[in-house]
């Protein structure tokens, strides 16, 4: 894996961006903004921008540095109001973990930053803000984010066929998901390509995920739990399978307006035994009025031309009533014979219009197929932790919006 920072070259660019003589002028401690009467200075802003520049952050992230500092100040204020702060041991551990993504110790990482003009305090504050915010969110919302046994069982059932269980090769990934409205696909693709240019190391990938990803994992730098390679969507699986640890995939379209890229941390190739002869099928069906009429077949042809995956159907079939659009996972043995036979002929992403139901034409699409596993073997604690983390992320985003709305933010 390439080292995370090419500091000598970037330091030159950084000094052109924010030179030492410029910072030496009297205005470096002038207030850029007051957040609840606490000043964010020009020095803090320049330091954050320089830090992001050294991480190869895109221009949008650098331009948004002031907003990020405002959010950090609001996080610190929320922590102080609750009598909380990150202790030295937590901050040191956080700095070590962040530096390790660049294959450096915290001391080495700080030394390289200082060579380029970034103070150790800037890095320390960046890490501390994230640590204390996680503590605030857990303390404030832990009770409301509890997951019941019934909710765990529902999640396992709806998941269909146990992608929490190691199936064949397993991968430890981080993700960046760029999602826009389907009609803004071109903008999403351009942004994904720009992010790909700068997210070339574990550290810069982490930073880009926090800034740009729309996935629930953004607060964790895009970090995912271990998962089965076979559980990934078809259009993603091949890209990830081709990666070596430390490598990052190019952006791949997962649906109109949505692009994903992945960083592979580790891979475990030892397969687990799979139950034989039992298959679970995830499929989508849309019932179009008119049976095998020309109008219904023409509408089906339009759908076929506009979708590549089952996720695409939600956008192009938005006008179809809920009782006519169905996406579900079932054991193959539980399906009607004609449906099971037709799905057996399809590869994931393929569509059939061979079947009808009453006076309706069935547009049938195979989403994925995999082994049907005994849900009793699914590790409940992992499912519970994932559900709880998703809730905490949602609470955190809503709480930050609330803090922003209630704060006194004024510019001099």
Residue 352 near residue 303, CB atoms below 8 Å:
no
Cα separation, 271 vs 203, whole angstroms: 30
250 falls within a domain: yes
Cα separation, 96 vs 76, whole angstroms: 21
CATH code for the domain of 204: 3.10.50.40
Does the pTM of the predicted model rise above 0.75? no
Both 268 and 289 in one domain: the answer is no
Write down the pLDDT at residue 335: 81
Listed residues 215, 245, 274: the one ending a domain: 274
Cα separation, 195 vs 59, whole angstroms: 10
Both 47 and 114 in one domain: the answer is yes
Both 11 and 136 in one domain: the answer is yes
Both 124 and 229 in one domain: the answer is no
CATH code for the domain of 86: 1.10.4030.10
161 falls within a domain: no
The whole domain housing 228 covers 166-274
Both 311 and 355 in one domain: the answer is yes
Both 11 and 137 in one domain: the answer is yes
Banded model confidence at residue 376, pLDDT cuts 50, 70, 90: low
148 falls within a domain: no
- Tell me the per-residue pLDDT of 219-256, one tens digit each, with 9 for 90 and over: 889 998 887 777 677 678 778 888 888 999 999 888 78
Q: Does position 374 have pLDDT exceeding 80, yes or no?
A: no
356 falls within a domain: yes
Banded model confidence at residue 83, pLDDT cuts 50, 70, 90: very high
192 falls within a domain: yes
Listed residues 274, 302, 329: the one ending a domain: 274
- Tell me the per-residue pLDDT of 285-323, one tens digit each, with 9 for 90 and over: 998 888 889 888 998 888 888 888 888 877 776 555 555
Strand 227-228 to 325-331 pairing: unpaired
392 falls within a domain: no
Both 16 and 53 in one domain: the answer is yes
- Tell me the per-residue pLDDT of 112-154, one tens digit each, with 9 for 90 and over: 999 999 999 999 999 999 899 989 998 998 888 888 888 877 7
**Average predicted confidence (pLDDT) for the chain:** 80
Question: How many Cβ atoms sit within 10 Å of the Cβ of residue 84?
Answer: 15
73 falls within a domain: yes
Cα separation, 135 vs 219, whole angstroms: 13
Both 23 and 114 in one domain: the answer is yes
Q: What's the domain count of the chain?
A: 3
Both 330 and 347 in one domain: the answer is yes
Alpha-carbon separation of residue 133 from 40, 159, 390, 392 (angstroms): 18, 31, 16, 11
Both 96 and 137 in one domain: the answer is yes
Which has the closest alpha carbon to 220: 253, 254, 177? 177
Both 112 and 208 in one domain: the answer is no
Both 174 and 68 in one domain: the answer is no
76 falls within a domain: yes
């Amino acid at each position: 894996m390439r080292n995370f920072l090419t500091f000598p070259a970037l330091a030159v660019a950084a000094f052109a961006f924010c030179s030492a003589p410029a910072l030496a002028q009297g205005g470096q401690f002038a207030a850029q903004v007051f957040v609840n009467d606490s000043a964010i200075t020009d020095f803090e802003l320049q330091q954050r921008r320089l830090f992001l520049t050294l991480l190869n952050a895109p221009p949008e992230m650098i331009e948004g540095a002031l907003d990020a500092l405002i959010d950090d100040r609001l996080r610190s204020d929320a922590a102080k109001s609750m009598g909380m702060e990150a202790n030295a041991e937590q901050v040191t551990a956080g700095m070590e973990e962040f530096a390790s993504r660049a294959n450096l110790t915290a001391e080495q990482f700080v030394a390289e930053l200082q060579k380029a003009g970034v103070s150790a305090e800037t890095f320390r504050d960046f890490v501390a803000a994230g640590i204390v915010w996680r503590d605030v969110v857990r303390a404030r919302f832990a009770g409301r984010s509890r997951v019941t046994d019934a909710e765990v069982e529902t999640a396992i059932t709806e998941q269909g066929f146990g992608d929490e269980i190691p199936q064949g090769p397993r991968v430890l990934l981080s993700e960046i998901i760029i999602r826009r409205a389907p009609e803004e696909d071109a903008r999403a693709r351009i942004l994904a390509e720009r992010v790909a240019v700068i997210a070339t190391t574990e550290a810069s990938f982490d930073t880009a995920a926090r800034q740009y990803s729309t996935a629930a994992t953004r607060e964790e730098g895009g970090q995912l739990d271990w998962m089965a390679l076979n559980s990934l969507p078809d259009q993603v699986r091949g890209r990830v399978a081709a990666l070596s640890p430390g490598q990052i995939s190019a952006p791949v379209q997962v649906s109109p307006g949505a692009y994903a890229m992945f960083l592979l941390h580790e891979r475990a190739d030892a397969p687990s035994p799979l139950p034989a002869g039992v298959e679970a099928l995830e499929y989508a069906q849309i019932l179009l009025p008119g049976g095998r009429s020309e109008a219904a077949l023409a509408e089906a042809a339009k759908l076929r031309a506009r979708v590549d995956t089952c996720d695409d159907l939600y956008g192009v079939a938005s006008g179809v009533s809920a009782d006519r659009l169905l996406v579900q996972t079932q054991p193959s043995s539980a399906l009607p014979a004609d449906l099971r036979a037709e799905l057996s002929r399809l590869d994931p992403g393929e569509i059939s219009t061979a079947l009808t139901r009453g006076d309706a034409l069935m547009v049938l699409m195979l989403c994925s197929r995999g082994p049907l596993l005994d849900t009793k073997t699914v590790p409940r604690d992992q499912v519970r932790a994932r559900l709880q983390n998703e809730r905490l992320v949602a609470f955190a985003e809503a709480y930050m919006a609330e803090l922003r709305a209630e704060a006194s933010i004024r510019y001099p």
